[in-house]
Structure 1
Amino acid sequence: MHHWRVSVQTRNGSCHCGNITFEFDTPVTGILECNCSICHRKGALWHAVGNEQFRIVSGEASLTTYQFGTRTAKHFFCSQCGTSTFSNPRIAPHMWVVNLRCVDDIDLAALPRQQFDGRNWEEAARQLMTNRQAQRTP
């Protein structure tokens, strides 16, 4: 049996003005596209990253946080240019999701997109977690 290892490279991202920079070390194999009221309006395309793989490199003092609804999620953006760079999502507030539109050298058109029905959050979250558990079970 062969054990294949996915190559992990450090990915870099930033806001528009370059004040906020960040990096993460997880392979980007797909996109999560949410249609909730905020994600739809800002056009964010998400990739989940664990705390151990995510680092804010510069500009942390310039980050501004927006919260709404249950106030569980934290949506971070640059106070200078307004770019939404990353969030702590409601479904996993202890983790990060990075906005792939802010990441260097990613071909968004080449990545498969998974739709997340954030307008019906409770059902969509339940379905996403069930699908992720099924993928982990042999």
Structure 2
Amino acid sequence: MIQTRHGSCHCGAVRLRHRPRARRPALAAAPPGRVVRLDPALQLLVLPQDPHWKSHVPAEAFRLLQGADHLSHYRFGEGAIDHAFCRTCGVYPFVGASEPAMGGDFYCVNVACLDEVSEDELAAAPIRYEDGARDDWGHAPRVTGYL
């Protein structure tokens, strides 16, 4: 069963809800650069340069419940991804972007901000690597021992 998951920043000023979809690939992240599979209800991704575990959901499956006025936003490079930070506690609860190759508008929720993800769920997931340093998401880096 696909669960609706809730979460918040550290201080609780920003609260969110998202409902992952089973038909999208279920990815989960361990340490930076390591990507693992979880249940189909939770899709997670992490980048080596950005060590946040993320649950990727389509825009219609994400809802900011409170705290829009507590958010600061950061964009870099081409500015395609909107990184949202809580102004009070500094936590990065989600990013938003639009990319046709990824299904259009989407959000990546910081898994550390989710209330319902158990340690057992994360520990049980096998690992798959992605080469985020080279934007080569379909392949593992040549060397993975340091990840």
TM band (smaller chain): 0.7 to 0.9
1:99 aligns with 2:99: no
TM-score, with length taken from structure 1: 0.72
What is the alpha-carbon distance in structure 2 between the residues aligned to residue 86 and residue 113 of structure 1? 23
Aligned-pair distance for 1:21?
0.3
Aligned to 1:44: 52
Q: How does 1:53-92 map to 2 (within 5 A)?
A: 53-89=61-97, 92=102
**Unmatched segments (≥5 aa) in structure 1:** 1-6, 129-138
- Post-superposition Cα deviations, 1:21-67, rounded to whole Å, max 9, x if no partner, equal 00011211x5322112xx1xxx3001111111100000011111111
Could you say which structure has the larger radius of gyration? Answer: 1
Return 5+ residue gaps in structure 2 as ranges: 21-40, 140-147
CA distance in 1, matches of 2:5, 2:97: 20
TM normalised by structure 2 equals 0.68
| Corresponding residue number in structure 2 for 1:35 | 48
Query: Hey, which of these two has a bigger chunk of helix by percent?
Result: 1
Give the superposition deviation at 1:94: 1.9
Give the conservation status (yes or no) of the 8 Å contact 1:31–1:112.
Answer: no
Residue-by-residue CA offset, 1:70-116 (whole Å, 9 max, x unaligned): 21111111011000100024755721011111101212323344433
The 1:11–1:89 alpha-carbon spacing in structure 2 relative to 1, beyond 3 Å, is: same
Contact 2:9-2:93 at 8 Å conserved across structures: yes
2: distance between equivalents of 1:57 and 1:17? 15
Q: Please report the RMSD computed on the Cα atoms of aligned residues, expressed in angstroms.
A: 2.0
Judge which range, 76-85 or 86-95, deviates more. 86-95
8 Å CA contact 1:89, 1:95 repeated in 2: yes
More strand as a share of residues: 2
